[in-house]
Amino acid sequence: MEREGMGFVPEIVPADSRLLEKAQARLDDLTKPVGSLGRLEEFARRIVSITGQTMPALGRKVVFTFAGDHGVVAEGVSAYPSEVTPQMVFNFLNGGAGINVLARHAGAEVVVVDIGVDYEFPETPGLLIRKVVKGTRNMLKEPAMTRGEAEQCLKVGIDLAAEYAGKGYGLFGTGDMGIGNTTPSSAIAAVLTKRGVAEVTGRGTGISDGGLAKKIAVIEESIALRNPDPNDPLDVLAKVGGAEIGGIAGLILGAASKRVPVVIDGLISTAGALIAYALEPRAADYMFAAHNSVEIGHKAMLEKMGMVPILDLGLRLGEGTGAALAMLLIEGGLKIYREMATFSEAGVSGEVPG
């Protein structure tokens, strides 16, 4: 499916629903009571359906942490200054951030993508420079990006998905870094879920009550002034979004087109997922919601897409940390499916007909 003027959106086929039944039949024949491993079984049958393989192996895993700055920080919506964005990128590259620790634990690589940081990074291992903008513009004063810039951000993610799928990576995770990026994420949530801004806006990095009230007012006024069209996801991304959000949306679309499962992190990643979903609802077949963030807008966006989070740990860091943790459980479900003995293989008597 391609929207008019959206020819950059790759073709996505629905996940194979027939394979869901085939996978469930194998799961029901494993040496356990039927359904006793709960959502682990769900993860396994979804991986089978997504990949189109009856006995899939995920292979290499990677978390893409997209980084970008935001002009709206000038309105006092964040507890931290924009200089922290490049500082944290260097922390990622040095292996010292939360995502580095949890990705190592999950056996996943971290790829940092500079898609919109207002800083010129040197060539560094682990860093992909795919800069579209040097920070978005202040959405309270003008659109955050042009439509062309927003489309370019999507294309960065789509191309990365194709590149890494071609290299044999079988499970993607999404992450983000960008001071102020809960503000555009909440704006996207408000527009695309049609909920009030106060219902989908949280404290981000930990702003005060007064800071939260100001943040809500900035988002409300930005939406009123920019008037993003909820029926045109690219318009929403351009007017009140962010470069890293667009990159994440593109990565999800690209992953789905290559039949690669993608684990969605928290608020910012889910704003990207919602843009991808609005562009092509079939993309939801290929997404796993890693966790339920403390940020209140996150749940609203997950509900809009009909997604149930895997974890609920009170997380609100971003970076891809929740995605890395959820990868372990998704892999656990697949290992059960692949490695656990069936009743006949183990010589165990099955359930007595009753």
User: What would the 3-class secondary structure string for the chain be?
Assistant: CCCCCCCCCCCCCCCCHHHHHHHHHHHHCECCCCCCCHHHHHHHHHHHHHHCCCCCCCCEEEEEEEEECEHHHHHCCCCCCCCHHHHHHHHHHCCCCHHHHHHHHHCEEEEEEEEECCCCCCCCCCEEECCCCCCECCCCCCCCCCHHHHHHHHHHHHHHHHHHHHCCEEEEEEEEECCCCHHHHHHHHHHHHCCCHHHCCCCCCCCCHHHHHHHHHHHHHHHHHHCCCCCCHHHHHHHHCCHHHHHHHHHHHHHHHCCCCEEECCHHHHHHHHHHHHHCHHHHHHEEECECCCCHHHHHHHHHHCCCCCECCCCCCCCCHHHHHHHHHHHHHHHHHHHCCEHHHHCCCCCCCC
State what percent of residues in the chain have pLDDT above 70: 98
**What is the per-residue pLDDT across 89-98, written as a single tens digit (0 to 9) for each?**
999 999 999 9
Residue 242 · residue 267 · CB < 8 Å: no
Domain 60-327 classified CATH 3.40.50.10210?
Answer: yes
Contacts of 227 (CB under 8 A, 6+ apart): 239
Residue 157 and residue 259: Cα distance in Å, rounded? 15
CB count in 10 Å sphere of residue 134: 14
For 102-115, what is the mean pLDDT? 98
Residue 30 forms beta bridges with which residues? 342
Amino acid at 225: L
Identify the weakest region by mean pLDDT among 1-10, 53-62, 167-176, 342-351.
1-10
Paired tokens of 265 = 């992190």
Per-residue pLDDT at 354 exceeds 70: no
CB count in 10 Å sphere of residue 74: 13
pLDDT band of residue 339 (cuts 50, 70, 90) is very high
How confident is the model at residue 5, as a pLDDT?
A: 56
How confident is the model at residue 1, as a pLDDT?
A: 36
Per-residue pLDDT at 205 exceeds 90: no
Annotated active-site residue 319? The verdict is yes
Counting Cα atoms < 13 Å in the Cβ hemisphere of 235 gives: 11
Counting Cα atoms < 13 Å in the Cβ hemisphere of 136 gives: 36
Q: Rg of the Cα trace of the chain?
A: 20
**What is the per-residue pLDDT across 5-61, written as a single tens digit (0 to 9) for each?**
578 899 999 999 999 999 999 999 999 999 999 999 999 999 999 999 999 998 899
Domain boundaries, the chain: 60-327
Q: What global pTM score does this model have?
A: 0.96
pLDDT band of residue 69 (cuts 50, 70, 90) is very high
**What is the per-residue pLDDT across 262-300, written as a single tens digit (0 to 9) for each?**
999 999 999 999 999 999 999 999 999 999 999 999 999
For 316-332, what is the mean pLDDT? 97
For 230-235, what is the mean pLDDT? 98
How confident is the model at residue 2, as a pLDDT?
A: 42
For 162-177, what is the mean pLDDT? 98
Which one of the listed residues 220, 319, 345, 351 is annotated catalytic? Answer: 319
Strands 127-129 and 287-289: unpaired
**What is the per-residue pLDDT across 110-152, written as a single tens digit (0 to 9) for each?**
999 999 999 999 999 999 999 999 999 999 999 999 999 999 9
Structure-token match 């949530």, residue found: 189
Counting Cα atoms < 13 Å in the Cβ hemisphere of 103 gives: 30
Identify the weakest region by mean pLDDT among 200-214, 219-233, 319-333.
200-214
